[in-house]
Amino acid sequence: MKKIIFATSNETKSKRFSKGLKELGIEVLSLNDINIKLDVEENGSTAIENALIKARECYKKTNMPSMGMDDTLYMQNVPEDKQPGLFVRRVNGKTLTDEEMIEHYTNLVKEYGKEGRINCKWIYGLAVINEKGEEATYSFSKDNFYMVSSRSDKINPGYPLNSISKYKKLDKYFTDVTLDDMKLIELNEDDVIDFIAKNI
């Protein structure tokens, strides 16, 4: 089985594509799995640039196929100077805890939302480096959700915004969505999995 290192120590994120890639004969390992820490400055101006920074550093340290991912968040009606963009967890130079993130984003919804909700969009950047050091990048987005001003009583560690995000089609918190629900909303990332598999 082929192996690829996901340049993240976030266990929830590292498992995101694991099932689909495993079916294609590719095992995804996180930085924790190989006991490595990356010290990178994510100073790119786009999600793709930051994904490349992480993937390159991971490849440099491991000499194994590597991938990095970053994302940008846009919220409808929020002024440009308050848009999270690339800095979803960093606000005014401070890195927020999961609880602080929930508080910050519910406050944005209360201030700029309508009827306690705001339409949102994630734009993802993904970078893959194969064993020869060849690079490939891919961008994809999801706008099938909104954030709300009241929170779920559950938290997915590392993904605190799941506690205040709901799928438009279900009006259900991300934290409460079941496998059957996922089939209903047809949340499919086969295109991303195919991209990784083709470029590893």
Is 70 designated active site? yes
Q: Which of 33, 39, 70, 181 is catalytic?
A: 70
User: Taking CA 178 as the corner, what is the angle to CA 172 and CA 184, rounded to the nearest 5 degrees?
Assistant: 75
Q: What is the Cα–Cα distance from 27 to 20, expressed in whole angstroms?
A: 10
Q: Do 196 and 128 form a contact (C-beta atoms < 8 A)?
A: yes
User: Taking CA 170 as the corner, what is the angle to CA 144 and CA 126, rounded to the nearest 5 degrees?
Assistant: 30
Which residues have C-beta within 8 Å of that of residue 117, sequence separation ≥ 6? 109, 146, 147, 148, 149, 166
Determine the residue type at 188. N
Give catalytic residue positions: 70
